[in-house]
């Protein structure tokens, strides 16, 4: 399973750790993924999603219905 949020599209970023002596070491910044179980009242069922904390806030603000409609329009979720 990839470390990618299906709602926001966030994925790991790469860069360097930089020491005081300016030695560079490769590193990764991972997205803040959470496993979240959400009830969809229109379909009367639960779904489990791996989404970022920002996506959880988006669902709280807009509602799960409009967010799922946008994902289905993009062809991400059936």
Local confidence band at 77 (pLDDT 50, 70, 90 cut-offs): confident
Contact 45, 32 (CB under 8 A): no
Superfamily name with CATH number, domain 13-74: Ribosomal protein L28/L24 (2.30.170.40)
Q: What is the pLDDT of residues 10-26, one digit of tens each?
A: 999 999 999 999 999 99
Q: What is the pLDDT of residues 33-66, one digit of tens each?
A: 999 999 999 999 999 999 999 999 999 999 999 9
Q: pTM of the predicted model, to two decimals?
A: 0.83
Helices 53-62 and 64-74: crossing angle in degrees, nearest 10, is 110
Contact 32, 53 (CB under 8 A): yes
């Amino acid at each position: 399973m990839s470390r990618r949020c299906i709602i926001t599209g966030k994925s790991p970023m790469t860069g360097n750790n930089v020491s005081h002596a300016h030695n560079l070491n490769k590193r990764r910044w991972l997205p803040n993924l959470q496993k979240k179980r959400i009830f969809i009242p229109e379909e009367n069922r639960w779904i489990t999603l791996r989404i970022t904390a920002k996506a959880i806030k988006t669902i709280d603000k807009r509602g799960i219905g409009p967010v799922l409609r946008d994902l289905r329009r993009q062809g991400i979720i059936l």
